[in-house]
Amino acid sequence: MTYINLTYGDLVLPALLVVVNGVISLVLHLKLERQLAWATARMTVQLLLVGYVLTFLFAAVSPLWTALAAFIMVLFASREIVVRQKRKLQGFWTYGLGAGCTLLASGTVTTFALLTQLRPEPWYHPRYALPLLGMILGNTMTGISLGVDVLTNGVVRERAAVEARLALGGTRYQALLPVIRDALRSGFMPTINGMAATGLVSLPGMMTGQILAGVEPIEAVKYQLLIMFLIAGGTGLGTLAAVVGGARLLTDHRHRLRLERIDGEPG
């Protein structure tokens, strides 16, 4: 197993490529240079910080610190979910739905993988738990935000159709079923497309990273397959929970549509 160590000095030359992008922006008046500089600085600081935090966590191997790090990751994910919504739910559920479903899906799938496949010692070892959670979280977050976005937009757009079904004696789930199906399809699609393209169009980042770190390609592939299966499971579970939960929040126990629970929508 060979691994080529990088020094900070080794990063200077590749960083010049970003400077080239900045020059292109200046020459062509794209007005992206400030954004580019800010994004580059942010990324560098964030990644370095994460590096030090992970170093600390890996040394500590503490269930408390690991759980705290996981909790913060879930909070950031739920914030991302809300930011991506065109129409936001009101009150606690603005963040509660995304955070709850992300935690449920990512937590369940990560714990499942740690306890049954990877079995590190201890099982919550942050070297395994946090990268695994991070990868599952990122994809689950995308599925959930797409699913909830399509659900809320669909219910507002299809209000007359949904209410027609309710008026004719349909239950809230019968009335919302077409919108729920659309929302689930949208949530699942990136994962399905990702799985279909993996290996042909792109080499996944984790697998590439392992290969660069000296792991045999076929071993890296096994890890990648495990991750893809976990991502598929997490995204499916999270999107289902968020879309069905969202449908429940947008109706009430008397099977009435409650669009006033979406920010800015009249009742």
For the CB of residue 164, give the shortest distance to another protein in the complex, in Å.
3
For the CB of residue 262, give the shortest distance to another protein in the complex, in Å.
15
Nearer to another protein, 90 or 208 (CB): 90
In angstroms and rounded to an integer, the radius of gyration of the C-alpha atoms of the chain is 22
For the CB of residue 169, give the shortest distance to another protein in the complex, in Å.
4
- Report the interface residues with another protein, using CB under 8 A: 158-171, 178, 252, 254-258, 267
Residue position matching structure tokens 């929040």: 249
Nearer to another protein, 9 or 267 (CB): 267
Nearer to another protein, 69 or 257 (CB): 257
For the CB of residue 258, give the shortest distance to another protein in the complex, in Å.
8
**For residue 150, what are the contacts with CB-CB under 8 A and spacing of at least 6?**
179, 182, 183, 186, 187
Nearer to another protein, 74 or 151 (CB): 151
Nearer to another protein, 31 or 254 (CB): 254
For the CB of residue 177, give the shortest distance to another protein in the complex, in Å.
9
Q: Is residue 215 within 8 Å of 148, Cβ to Cβ?
A: no
